Amino acid sequence: ITRRHFTVGAAALGVTTFNIGRARAAEFSYKFANNLALSHPLNKRAAEAAAKIKEETGGRFELQIFPSSQLGSDTDTLGQIRSGAVDFFTLSGLILSTFVPAASINGVGFAFKDYDTVWKAMDGKLGDFIRAEIAKSRTIFAFDKQWDNGFRQTTTSTKPITSPADLANLKIRVPPAPLWTSMFKAFGSAPATINFNEVYSALQSKVVDAQENPLAIIETAKLYEVQGYCSMTNHMWDGFHFLANRASWEALPKDIQAVVSKHINAAAIAERADVADLTKGLQETLASKGMKFNTVDQAPFRDKLKAAGFYTEWKGKYGDAAWAVLEGAVGSLG
């Protein structure tokens, strides 16, 4: 909370400086919030895009980036993007599902086998379907290109996860989204919903013994400091929608909108490649920091979810039409 007030205060100070005579302030100064460390490729590419947008608009548009949940947790920030208190927000589709239920559909357990399938789906019919559902909210919409979070792996402080039985009764942190809780309940775990900005301390203080995230986050959020095992479960692919508050967006002149969307979508594509590059070397890097890695056979994990009725339940929730779009992209899940 202290940090948050500090940041907002600093932004306000910038405005004050302008009032007492700084040469030129941006005509449009828009806030972009996200939950990741500055070192994550998402923030590096967003900063680069911000510089390009500033240049190409002749300084008329300024993108102010607030990393590391500085403006609040994901749950708080979802409220802020809906009200317009923030203008842009990168959010996992799964968390967005608390407002737009269909947006979690790409997170169904073990749906995606690889990145080729992911980007074909998310830049194609499945992504178009999700973006149309988001747009129906009228208050927010998602830019065309999704940013990568990654394939999620399971870390613990206690033991490696080698079979579904290892997940039984595990106190595992999950992000605030029903699909996550449902999936880990299907495994017999004891999932605890915790926003990302509290994950490090929850692991450190042993409120939970486990969490799951892509390697790029395990590295940039330093989760390896508080987790000893990393099991390559690849149980879900998760990505960030670059969300905009519609009223904020419509307040921009068309030429500025065009420059902003061009650079933001290009940054998303660049970020995907960055995450892929970073991820390649991370198993080795994290192992050198002491994490113990293991691979898993996914088949028994899928079977466990099937037997628990997980796929049937979620097919029912999304509806046959949406489920057909998902299966059209990833193959049969039944």
Instruction: Output the smallest distance, CB 18 to ligand X2X, in A.
Output: 33
Question: In angstroms, how far apart are the furthest CA atoms of the chain?
Answer: 67
- Hey, which residues does 63 pair with through a beta bridge? 30
Name residues contacting ligand X2X, limited to 181-200 (CB under 6 A). Answer: 196
Q: What track of x and - describes contact with ligand X2X for positions 270 through 309 (by CB under 6 A)? A: ----------------------------------------
Which one-letter amino acid corresponds to residue 231?
S
Structure tokens at 313: 């339940």
Residue 213 binds ligand X2X, judged by CB under 6 A: yes
Question: CB-based contacts of 330: which residues, under 8 Å, 6+ apart?
Answer: 111, 112, 113, 117, 121
Q: Is 331 helix (H, G, I), strand (E, B) or coil?
A: coil
Q: Among 217, 267, 275, 278, indicate the residue that binds ligand X2X (CB under 6 A).
A: 217
Residue 93 binds ligand X2X, judged by CB under 6 A: no
Residue 175 binds ligand X2X, judged by CB under 6 A: yes
Are residues 235 and 152 in contact, defined by beta-carbon separation less than 8 angstroms? yes
Instruction: Output the smallest distance, CB 74 to ligand X2X, in A.
Output: 6
Q: How many chain residues interact with ligand X2X (CB under 6 A)?
A: 9
Angle at 163 between CA 221 and CA 287, to 5 degrees: 35
Instruction: Output the smallest distance, CB 261 to ligand X2X, in A.
Output: 22
The residue (of 164 and 175) whose beta carbon lies closer to ligand X2X is 175
DSSP 113-133: -SHHHHHHHHTSHHHHHHHHH
Name residues contacting ligand X2X, limited to 13-52 (CB under 6 A). Answer: 35
Quickly count: other Cβ atoms within 10 Å of residue 166's Cβ: 19
Binding site for ligand X2X (CB under 6 A): 35, 92, 95, 149, 175, 196, 213, 217, 238
